[in-house]
Amino acid sequence: MITYKPENHLSLIAKVDAFLGGRLLGREEKSHYYQFKVMGQDARALVQFLRDDPGLGFSMFIDITAVDYLRYPAAQPGRYGVVTTLLSPSLGIKVQVLAFVAEGDPRLPSLADLYLGANWTEREVWDMYGIEFMGHPDLRRILMPDDYDGHPLRKDYPLRGRGERGNFPVYHATTQKPKGANSP
């Protein structure tokens, strides 16, 4: 059973502050979880620290997703934010690591060797946003066709697409029975 204990939050904050020092861009308390903001090059080290520190034990991987800050009203340290969500069953705390990556070089180290569940979610972020996960064992498209040009969840992607819908193969369902099939 996971139990929420406020004192666990203080320990978490102190350990992350000590580990990252001045490289922590910020932190934000949400309802029952914390979000730590870092640059992309620090994300893997922080996630591995959260997982391996015996007093923290963030052993459960929940998700990886991304945010495109292209037209965001407030300036951000990078165009893209990659959000990794983890859970510590022993502390009863969830954390998010928000890693900023630059528009001109959208990549950061893979977490697939730390958490097996990161494999497919990193592929999804690569496919939809074009953010490369260095060291990923099989980084290829997972939702779009292999020869698809573009990343449709980027904010600069046209809302109506680039006309590619006409190029996708179309399969039609039919209600006709195959020749020779018996009728009931």
Query: What is the distance between the terminal CA atoms of the chain, rounded to a whole angstrom?
Result: 55
Look at residue 116 in the predicted model and tell me its pLDDT: 96
> What's the confidence (pLDDT) of residue 173?
72
Tens digit of pLDDT for each residue in 144-162? 888 888 898 998 877 655 5
Domain edges within the chain:
6-157
pTM: 0.83
pLDDT band at 90 (very low <50, low <70, confident <90, very high): confident
Residue 63's pLDDT band, with cuts at 50, 70 and 90, is very high
| C-alpha span between 94 and 88 (Å, rounded) | 6
**Pairwise CA distance, residues 68 & 78, whole Å:** 9
CATH of domain 6-157: 3.30.460.80
